[in-house]
Amino acid sequence: MVALPTLPRRYHGASVWALYALGLIPAASGFYLGATGQLPGNAIKEFEHLLGIWALRFLIATLCITPIRDLFGINWIRYRRALGLLAFWYVVMHFSTYMILDKYLDFRTIIADIAKRPFITIGMAGFVMLIPLALTSNNWSIRKLGPRWNKLHKLVYVIAAAGALHFAMSVKVVGPEQMIYIALVTALLVWRLFRTRFNQWRRGPAGRPHLGRA
Ligand code: HEM
């Protein structure tokens, strides 16, 4: 079992804010490089890709919190909301770049794209599903929705699958990069099917941990 030094409680809040700040660095640096002509090739496409890939990375990071706790006993649940919201804001920026910089707000083309290009339809579905999750990512909604909150937030599994599929379908030939993201999302979703049994096995028949610290 991994024994990481634990962060004193008084720094928990600051560490979450630090995560938000760090998480926005790729977008800020991409924007700066694009605005100063330092992005290679088609700068708009590069920026759009950067935002899309980071949205997917943050979705995956959000899904990693539970297996990290199950497998290693490390509780980073305090970072889950920030990671999920970072994924949401990256999708918002990705979508805005597509709409404004790529399509110049030509709504006819945008609507036709969403309706006719399956990979964009799937991306859009992922974005639409992320909205209620982002809106309910606060303590008030958790209290108000009770057990329904957990049910609603299970949508993140569908969103991550949609994101990985959208990525794979956005390229002509699926390469190692797309395969890695698909494999990661698949592994994280499959883990959800087995985690209850794994945790029961780990606790042992008398509820005592089999594998050290629970
Ligand atoms: C959960 C939501 C979404 C995620 C996680 C996501 C992620 C991604 C990723 C990872 C890529 C590939 C980046 C690369 O090539 O390195 C991509 C490309 C793209 N996405 Fe999304 N996306 C999402 C939603 C959307 C939405 C809502 C739209 C527009 C309606 C959109 C439009 C595009 C376009 C146009 C491309 C580029 C395709 C090209 O190479 O020309 N995405 N997205």
- pLDDT tens, position by position, 124-145: 999 999 999 999 999 999 999 9
- In the structure, how many helices (H) and strands (E) does the chain have? 10, 0
| Confidence at residue 214, expressed as pLDDT on a 0 to 100 scale | 34
With a 6 Å cutoff on the Cβ, whether 30 touches ligand 1 is no
Closest ligand 1 atom to Cα of 181: 10
- Determine if residue 212 is left, alpha or beta; phi over 0 gives left, psi from -120 to 50 gives alpha, anything else beta: left
With a 6 Å cutoff on the Cβ, whether 51 touches ligand 1 is no
pLDDT digits (tens, 9 = 90+) for 35-61: 999 999 999 999 999 999 999 999 999
For the beta carbon of residue 39, count every other beta carbon within 10 angstroms: 19
- Domain positions in the chain are 16-199
| pTM confidence score | 0.92
| Cα 184 to middle of ligand 1, angstroms | 18
| Confidence at residue 210, expressed as pLDDT on a 0 to 100 scale | 55
SS3 letters for 94-155? Answer: HHHHHHHHHCCCCHHHHHHHHHHCHHHHHHHHHHHHHHHHHHCCCHHHHHHHCHHHHHHHCH
| Cα 149 to middle of ligand 1, angstroms | 27
SS3 state of residue 54 = helix
Give the CA-trace dihedral at 191, 197, 201, 202, to 10 degrees.
40
CA triple 106-111-115, angle to 5 deg: 150
With a 6 Å cutoff on the Cβ, whether 166 touches ligand 1 is yes
- Residues of the chain falling short of pLDDT 50: 212-214
